[in-house]
Structure 1
Amino acid sequence: MTDSRQRLLVFAPTRRVASETFVRANLAGLPFEVSAYFGDEFPLDQPGRFAYGLGVLLSKIFTRLGWLRLAELPAAFVAWILIRRHRPDVVLAEFGFHAVRVMQAAARVDVPFVVHFRGSDLSANRRLGVLRSRYRRLVSIASGVVCKSRPMATTLEQLGASPSTILISPSGANPALFSVGDPALAAPVFLAVGRFVAKKGPLQTIRAFAGQPQGELWMVGEGPLLAEARRLVQALQVQDRVRFLGVKTQSEVAALMRQARVFVQHSQIAPDGDSEGNPVSVMEAQLCGLPVVATLHAGIPDVVLDGSTGLLVEENDVDGMAEAMTRLMADPNLAAQFGLAGRERVLAAFTLEHHLQDLTRFLQQQIRSTTHF
């Protein structure tokens, strides 16, 4: 058990975005006394939170103007005041681009500072490309960094982070919510869950589906590629077999997973360099007993074992994905076999509880190794 006197101060860009359930999971599940500040909140009756939101807003404006060094000051000044007020045992900054905004505060106090990288913050040109020099400074200040996959850890090492300061920990899926179904008895449905953005490969998923004759494709989510996805479905003449279901709650997604036979996701490196960390939806699907057809991308091969819990193809191999989809749709028993193996694998190593335990131990390690206040 964590000593109840251990205090965790969290800085994050937002807690309101539906897709960022992992931030809320950390706040709810970590066994610390948690105080959290978000860059998009401006409560007039809470001066500290209002000041932090204002500081982050100014930092964003300065960043867009290209004044990167000046952009570090407003949020960092407020963060420094908040650190002195809360006297935390450890500070956690969610997302690398947000951590840059507060790193100067962390550099001026004797308290361990941990940065949690998630995916696009360590890959997309609009993040890594713009902030590379700032990230080098960031990893020199941080006492520890958390990331989602081995490729992300490699990038951190290239930026100057010592391997001994890096924790690789996928966000994990919640077995209390994502319970097992039976793909062998399920309707012939492929399920895709994720934002309609390039790194999720929704257009490639649709093309692969259209390249095989079986079942329906249900797609959950929305995003900038949704309109193009709808046009592609019409062009490929599969509109009677593809359903766009919009945004769903986690409970609704879990219910859909228990109705499907195969989970599909064609993750890829986007044109702007954006990459997955380790997509939680893949782990959630496996908890529901679904076999996974996906790509050899980012942390996916760490979770999905090709030929054992699913089938993996190279990025942009649409024909190969179509063949994999055909194989599992045509063999319900194989789908069930892969699904059961996938559930056992996630339960053994990739649940939300595994992530929270890993992160708790890592934060406590930083506390023990740092003399503060």
Structure 2
Amino acid sequence: MVFHGGLTPFLVDDKSKKARFCAIYDKLLGKLRSLVFRKEKRRTFLLRQLIKRYRIAICYAEFGPVGVGSVEACRATNTRLIVNFHGYDAFKIDTIKEFGSGYKELFSYCEKVVCVSRSMKSKIIDLGCDPQKLIVRPCLPNAEFFTLARNPILNKLVFVGRFVEKKGPWLTILAFNEIIKTHKDAQLWMAGDGPLLGVCKSLVKSFDIPNVKFLGAIGHQDVKKLLTSADIYVQHSIIAENGDREGNPVAVMEAMAMGIPVVATRHEGISETIKHNVNGLLVEEHDFIDMSVQINRLMSCRELKADLGSMAREKIKEMASQSTIGFLS
């Protein structure tokens, strides 16, 4: 059963007549309570009602702030709570400032805290979590990515992700600007949307960089189709000025699962998944020149591309075989 509707989830996708009647009843009760209590209290009441109605035994909260918003309802119903941190919720400065005290209450009540990298685990310990409650579990790709047939276009670089600071899309473009000087047939296809998309388009226009295609936001099936044509996957993740950073990017692991060689940065979970010169290539954050050098290495050696791609696939298979949700039992 999936609850949604903000930091304190209070909605459910149940279209039955009984569910619709109960939802109306709960909303009326909630509005009456809102005359006395704050909005947060009303949403906690609604979540508590949902937990009781559907006899929920365990709540699995995606993202730290959602966990904070769920604590009161779970405690009131004696419901087990597990929370999964993904990235911004552990690192972003304003998020820590807003939810820091709430995290302490969350860590005290919840049964387990799941995070996606060892570096994130250290950060969550610093925020006050008992190390014994922490479990490292990356969000691994769907098994389908292991079986997708590739038909790579020579020297086609692909990036999939939000155009935000921590993804460093402009640094990927600057690296490509170096590549295109020696590989005139190279292409850079970038899928995603976000606040930096316009800036990145302006950068390409200002430097008159050819063969860069911005696809905007695309669906899951289109992502799979795009990756099947990728020769190399590129991602220049960095620590943003506001502290935001990656957990362990799923798009990178999806590419690896397909056997696509990856050039990325030594950043958080990426450097825990990719070992330089073994199953991918890594550069330091902001070093777009070295990124272009590493991409050029791949473009100049088919054997290296094949070897790194093969080892990348094996790495994700190994991670998948070790992953389990047995801690829910």
Shorter-chain TM range is 0.7 to 0.9
1:75: which partner in 2? 43
1:330: which partner in 2? 300
Percent identity, aligned pairs only? 35
Matched, 1:223 2:194: yes
Offset of residue 181 of structure 1: 5.2
2:155: which partner in 1? 188
TM superposition score normalised by structure 1: 0.77
- The answer (yes or no) to whether the contact 1:12–1:94 under 8 Å persists in 2 is no
TM-aligned CA distance change 1:228 to 1:110, over 3 Å: same
- 1:136-165 Cα shifts (integer Å, max 9, x gaps): 111111111111111211122112211111
1:255: which partner in 2? 225
- The answer (yes or no) to whether the contact 1:38–1:49 under 8 Å persists in 2 is no
Q: Secondary structure at the match of 1:98?
A: helix
1:17: which partner in 2? none
Q: Secondary structure at the match of 1:115?
A: strand
TM-aligned CA distance change 1:96 to 1:151, over 3 Å: same
Offset of residue 264 of structure 1: 0.2
Instruction: For structure 2, list consecutive stretches of 5 or more residues without a partner in the other structure.
Output: 31-36
- The answer (yes or no) to whether the contact 1:42–1:49 under 8 Å persists in 2 is no
TM-aligned CA distance change 1:312 to 1:350, over 3 Å: farther
Residue 303 of structure 2 aligns to which amino acid in structure 1?
N
Residue 189 of structure 1 aligns to which amino acid in structure 2?
K
- The answer (yes or no) to whether the contact 1:149–1:277 under 8 Å persists in 2 is yes
Matches within 5 A, 1:95-244: 95-179=63-147, 186-213=153-180, 214=183, 215-238=186-209, 240-244=210-214
1:59: which partner in 2? none
2:34: which partner in 1? none
Greater shift after overlay, 75-84 or 303-312?
75-84
- The answer (yes or no) to whether the contact 1:190–1:216 under 8 Å persists in 2 is yes
| Larger Cα-atom Rg | 2
Residue 206 of structure 2 aligns to which amino acid in structure 1?
A
- 1:108-136 Cα shifts (integer Å, max 9, x gaps): 23231111112112222332221111111
- The answer (yes or no) to whether the contact 2:191–2:217 under 8 Å persists in 1 is yes
Q: Secondary structure at the match of 1:229?
A: helix
Greater shift after overlay, 70-79 or 268-277?
70-79
TM-aligned CA distance change 1:51 to 1:98, over 3 Å: farther
Residue 292 of structure 1 aligns to which amino acid in structure 2?
V
Q: Which of 243, 252, 256 does residue 282 from structure 1 map onto? A: 252
How many pairs does the alignment contain?
A: 316
- 1:242-295 Cα shifts (integer Å, max 9, x gaps): 111222222222222221211000111112211111110011101111111111
- The answer (yes or no) to whether the contact 2:26–2:49 under 8 Å persists in 1 is no
- The answer (yes or no) to whether the contact 1:198–1:270 under 8 Å persists in 2 is yes
CA-atom RMSD, angstroms? Answer: 2.9
Matches within 5 A, 1:351-370: 355=323, 358-359=324-325, 361-364=326-329
- The answer (yes or no) to whether the contact 1:181–1:259 under 8 Å persists in 2 is no
TM superposition score normalised by structure 2: 0.86
- The answer (yes or no) to whether the contact 2:125–2:131 under 8 Å persists in 1 is yes
- The answer (yes or no) to whether the contact 1:206–1:233 under 8 Å persists in 2 is yes
Q: Secondary structure at the match of 2:234?
A: strand
- 1:86-107 Cα shifts (integer Å, max 9, x gaps): 2222111111111221211122
TM-aligned CA distance change 1:329 to 1:41, over 3 Å: same
Instruction: For structure 1, list consecutive stretches of 5 or more residues without a partner in the other structure.
Output: 1-8, 15-36, 57-68, 365-373
Residue 103 of structure 1 aligns to which amino acid in structure 2?
V
Residue 204 of structure 1 aligns to which amino acid in structure 2?
L
TM-aligned CA distance change 1:112 to 1:49, over 3 Å: same
Q: Secondary structure at the match of 1:281?
A: helix
Matches within 5 A, 1:57-96: 72-96=40-64
- The answer (yes or no) to whether the contact 2:247–2:269 under 8 Å persists in 1 is yes
Aligned equivalents of 2:267, 2:175: Cα separation in 1: 17
- The answer (yes or no) to whether the contact 1:42–1:51 under 8 Å persists in 2 is no
Offset of residue 11 of structure 1: 3.9
Question: Relative contact order (C-alpha < 8 Å, sep 6+): which is higher?
Answer: 1
